[in-house]
Amino acid sequence: MLCNSASLTRRVAPNSDLKEAAMFFDNPFKIRMPHDDEYLPGRRLSIFAGGAHAVLGNELLPPFPDSMQQITLGLGCFWGAERLFWTMAGVYVTAVGYAGGRTPHPSYEEVCSGQTGHTEVVLVVFDPKKIGLGHLLQTFWQAHDPTQGFRQGNDRGTQYRSAIFAFDQAQLDQATQSAHIYQNALTSVGYGKITTEMALVDTFYYAESYHQQYLHKVPHGYCGLQGTGVACPG
């Protein structure tokens, strides 16, 4: 489910384009990752206490059934991205959070500062007997523009970078292969190089409760998902 035009309104409406541009360029962490001495310290304990998925009903925190697999995907603002995956048959549970950086248990405001190194991601827990990783990856590629670097549409900054964080080497290998396939499709119609970060997951940090299943709670809220219109070959 990509977003309709009404839900593509900016996540935080600026007073003017000039003010937005000044805020963007005055913050160096919108266009680069922090240096070693620039990361925020974070905290020792999680900011998320747990609970049931507002749509699927399953618990958001592990342990999950042994038969399930997990993948963590970043494709811009996590509100619309989470809804995209919870609607797919075979998905057991989804949760939004932060990954790819260094700050432990960051808050949303800390992630927005750019000084955590994290990007907004969706944890997708799925039943491989009902939905394959390949289908999830196809959906991932087609739902955003993976060539945009530190931005996704109207959302700019390192926290919106495209990312795949795999839970084992087999997943990472499959993700890498799917990227090569989609790169060929994108190149054939004039798109640039895929900038998606791909790595084994280090730690997934749950976001605050109000972010979880946000577009179920606020059905007409902001959704930044916009694909390229280029199909990902199966």
Which are the contacts of 189, defined by CB distance < 8 A and separation ≥ 6? Answer: 230
Task: Please give the Cα distance from 70 to 184 (Å, whole number).
Answer: 27
| 7 in Cβ contact with 221 (< 8 Å) | yes
Residue 232: active-site member:
no
Within the chain, residue ranges assigned H as helices are 17-26, 78-86, 108-113, 133-142, 169-187, 214-217
- Kindly write down the DSSP assignment for every residue of 97-121, as one continuous string: EEESSS-SS--HHHHHHT-S--EEE
Going 215 to 220 to 221 to 226, the CA torsion angle's sign is positive
User: In Å, what is the CA distance from 196 to each residue of 15, 100, 106, 164?
Assistant: 31, 12, 22, 7
Task: Please give the Cα distance from 30 to 22 (Å, whole number).
Answer: 12
Q: Which position among 77, 112, 223, 232 bears the catalytic label? A: 77
Q: Which positions are annotated as active-site residues?
A: 77
